[in-house]
């Protein structure tokens, strides 16, 4: 059998088994579900280093230590957040209003996994699916198939060991576009959870079944004149260099008030960042993107010195970020879009109003609905940014990567970040188990509703409607003959046309 046909057949088999497992799993009690979730989180935490090593070896992207951190975050932070959530049976009771909410699982889920965060996304999505009594089938990126599969296999073993039905967590091993499409379209798949690029998310939504898609970011970081410059630069560097910039919430540009630009520039240089000349910027542009305009697979997740060497420019070996000074945003300025590597655009603006407009322009150029960062001590300006920007995560005085996923903030911990309708998605939230359950409502009466007296007296609905707008209808004393009706109609039409 050809590889595409093998992949399709595997997708069909896994989808059927997932649905069978889900039918059994949805009968589990809250206690049983929580026991399984705890076991899976513990297994993921115990294997954080092992899975990070697999991801680095297979994808060649990012930083080993940071992948360990992401795996631990996906296991520990996610578990601590979802541990006490009620997701089985009656989850909310309002006796005063007479409404009781009952959780129902979304069903069997197909989850698309990116190459940038494969093991951590599998961990997070498996945990939130299990907490919701859903089963899940992963379709990983071809360059992350082995590490994704090994992660799913370990978590499945932990789930079964804690009492879950077999096949609650599965992963494709033969990865083709045809197989992924067959998985998403299979009638036994109830929901699609797609983490990846714009084309993938659009594909998921085009299948014709419920889908949660999370797209790319093009995150601007605005440093306003009242900001603590040293702290702002330190946070941006920590975020942008984390796993070499592959997290979609990492900063793509720094926008700085001109009055503090020299201070900001000097601070970046002091913290081992490199400002490129115009010629050097052109060289980096030439290697950073594929012919289709997407981040080049050879550059994504690579350190700054590697990118510099590849572009034929010399930088100090301890360089953390390459910075390109740009005049505008758009197709003529390739470094103004998402780069998934430690390369930043740099802009100067006169004030927060100009900074505001430039941030919006960046978000519209590939990051609508995702994330924006502002470094400022001026609460009025911060609130103005929160009100006006087309991003659903407005982060204040923290790094984009760590703030958006809920590591440095109290946002729900998640590796799956919704962009709302602005970004072509269905949710603007950090995705949690509550997005994978449906709410059934039991409602009791709180007020009596008596039949309308106007209906009881025998009049028709037409008569009642007429009574609302005119004098009462008078019943004629006798019935008109056909000839009389015809004469009345003829006279009416003659008079009408005469007018």
Catalytic residues: 248
Residues facing residue 64 across a β-bridge: none
Residue (of 140, 93, 148, 137) closest to 114 by Cα position? 140
Rounded to whole angstroms, how far apart are CA atoms 69 and 66? Answer: 5
Residue 149 phi/psi, 5-degree rounding, is: -65, -45
Rounded to whole angstroms, the Cα distance separating 351 from 378 reads 13
Residue 41 token pair: 């989180």
3-state secondary structure 11-41: HHHHHHHHHHHHHHHCCCCHHHHHHHHHHHH
Strand 108-113 relative to strand 251-257, pairing: unpaired
Query: Is 13 exposed, middle or buried, given 0-12, 13-18 or 19+ CB atoms closer than 10 A?
Result: middle
Contact 423, 202 (CB under 8 A): no
- What residue has token string 């330190």? 234
**Spatial separation of the C-alpha atoms in residues 324 and 223, rounded to whole Å:** 16
Instruction: Write down the number of H helices and E strands in the chain.
Output: 19, 15
Instruction: Tell which phi-psi region holds residue 35, choosing left (phi > 0), alpha (psi between -120 and 50) or beta.
Output: alpha
Cα 401 to Cα 75, 237, 258, 262, 429, distances in angstroms: 17, 10, 25, 25, 15
Residue 318 CB neighbour total at 10 angstroms: 9
Closest of 257, 267, 220, 263 to residue 378, by C-alpha: 257
The first and second tokens of residue 57, run together, are 């070896």
Under 8 Å between Cβ of 115 and 61: yes
């Amino acid at each position: 059998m050809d590889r595409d046909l093998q992949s399709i057949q595997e997708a069909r088999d896994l989808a059927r088994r997932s649905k069978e497992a889900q039918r059994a799993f949805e009968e589990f009690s809250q206690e049983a579900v929580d026991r399984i979730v705890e076991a899976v989180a513990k297994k993921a935490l115990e294997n954080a280093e092992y899975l990070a090593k697999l991801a680095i070896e297979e994808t060649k992207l990012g930083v080993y230590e940071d992948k360990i951190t992401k795996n631990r975050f996906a296991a520990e932070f996610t578990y601590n957040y979802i541990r006490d959530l009620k997701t089985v049976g009656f989850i909310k009771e309002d006796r005063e209003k007479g409404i009781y909410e009952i959780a129902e699982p979304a069903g069997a889920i197909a989850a698309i996994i990116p190459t940038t965060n494969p093991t951590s996304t599998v961990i997070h999505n498996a945990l939130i699916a299990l907490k919701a009594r859903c089963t899940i089938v992963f379709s990983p990126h071809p360059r992350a198939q082995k590490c994704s599969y090994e992660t799913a296999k370990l978590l499945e073993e932990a789930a079964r060991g804690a009492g879950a039905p077999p096949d609650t967590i599965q992963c494709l091993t033969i990865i083709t576009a045809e197989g992924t499409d067959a998985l998403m379209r299979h009638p036994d798949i109830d929901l699609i959870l797609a983490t990846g690029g714009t084309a993938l998310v659009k594909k998921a939504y085009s299948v014709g079944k419920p889908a949660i898609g999370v797209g790319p970011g093009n995150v601007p970081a605005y440093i306003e004149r009242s900001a603590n410059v040293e702290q702002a630069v330190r946070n941006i560097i920590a975020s942008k260099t984390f796993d070499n910039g592959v997290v979609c919430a990492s900063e793509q540009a720094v926008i700085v008030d001109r009055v503090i630009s020299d201070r900001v520039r000097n601070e970046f240089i002091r913290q081992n960042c490199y400002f490129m000349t115009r010629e050097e910027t052109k060289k980096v542009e030439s290697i950073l993107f594929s012919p289709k305009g997407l981040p080049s697979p050879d550059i994504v997740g690579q350190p700054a010195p590697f990118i510099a060497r590849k572009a034929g420019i010399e930088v100090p070996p301890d360089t953390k970020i390459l910075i390109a000074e740009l005049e505008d945003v758009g197709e003529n300025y390739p470094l103004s879009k998402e780069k998934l590597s430690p390369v930043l655009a740099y802009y100067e603006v006169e004030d927060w109003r100009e900074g505001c407009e430039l941030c919006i322009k960046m978000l519209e150029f590939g990051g609508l609905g995702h994330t924006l960062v502002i470094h400022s001590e001026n609460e009025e300006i911060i609130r103005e940014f929160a009100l006006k920007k087309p991003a659903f995560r407005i982060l204040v005085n923290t790094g984009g990567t760590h703030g958006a996923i809920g590591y440095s903030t109290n946002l729900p911990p998640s590796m799956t970040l919704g962009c709302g309708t602005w970004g072509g998605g269905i949710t603007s939230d950090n995705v949690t188990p509550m997005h994978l359950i449906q709410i059934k409502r039991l409602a009791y009466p709180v007020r009596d509703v008596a039949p309308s007296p106007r209906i009881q007296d025998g009049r028709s609905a037409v008569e009642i409607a007429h009574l609302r707008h005119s004098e009462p209808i008078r019943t004629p004393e006798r019935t008109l003959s056909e000839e009389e009706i015809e004469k009345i109609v003829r006279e009416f039409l003659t008079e009408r046309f005469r007018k």
